[in-house]
Amino acid sequence: MAEEKKVRYSRKRERIYEWILSRDDHPSAEEIYLALRPEFPDLSLGTVYKNLHFLEDHGRISRVLSPQGVEHYDWRTEGHGHFICRSCGMIRDLEIPDETRACLPRTSADGGRIETYTMTAFGLCPQCLSGQEHVQE
Ligand SMILES: [Zn+2]
Ligand SMILES: [Zn+2]
């Protein structure tokens, strides 16, 4: 009984998690807040952040930082790369082949042990790429 009390079930938190699970576009806290506010009129952005950090601390979601410093959230927690559009900010998953991962150093030059890699590629998404073609003079 005492154990159940340790992590109090939170309906808001579970809905935030469910909503992230339903997306593959790495929503920001603000997007999550706007999407769930109709369901929870007393929801605040601070509550969303608090719950996101809780989920992240418990290894249920991961965080992707945009170049602008905006936190985006991901239901995938196993190592994978991201592709970020430098024009519209779109974030998509990028699969890094095992052969490529195997080539990466396991230690730093000064003997430190590398535990994980985060990989981010930057460029233009298909939409921005086609928009650019039309605009080009
Ligand atoms: Zn784009
Ligand atoms: Zn991802």
pLDDT digits (tens, 9 = 90+) for 97-130: 889 888 999 999 999 999 888 889 999 999 999 9
pLDDT at 110: 96
Q: Write the single-letter amino acid at 22.
A: S
* 88 Cα–ligand 2 center, Å: 17
How far is C-alpha 83 from the chain's CA centre?
A: 12
- Please report which confidence band the pLDDT of residue 1 belongs to, taking 50, 70 and 90 as the band edges: very low
The tokens of 71 are what? 């936190």
CATH class of 80-137: alpha beta
Q: Where do the domains of the chain lie?
A: 1-77, 80-137
- At residue 109, the 3 state secondary structure works out as coil
Q: Which CATH class is domain 1-77?
A: mainly alpha
Tell me how far apart the alpha carbons of residues 78 and 116 are, in angstroms, rounded to a whole number.
10
Residue 13's Cβ-count burial label (10 Å; 0-12, 13-18, 19+) is buried
How close is the Cα of 86 to the center of ligand 1, in Å?
7
Q: Tell me the whole-structure pTM to 2 decimals.
A: 0.77
Note the ligand closest to the C-alpha atom of 63. Answer: 2
Residue 15, pLDDT > 90, answer yes
Distance of CA 44 to the CA centre of its chain: 20
Ligand index nearest the alpha carbon of residue 25: 2
Mean pLDDT of 8-32: 93
pLDDT for residue 68 is more than 80: yes
In 3D, which of 49, 68, 69 has the Cα closest to residue 57?
49
pLDDT score at 29? 96
Tell me the average pLDDT of the chain.
89
**Ligand (nearest to CA of 74):** 2
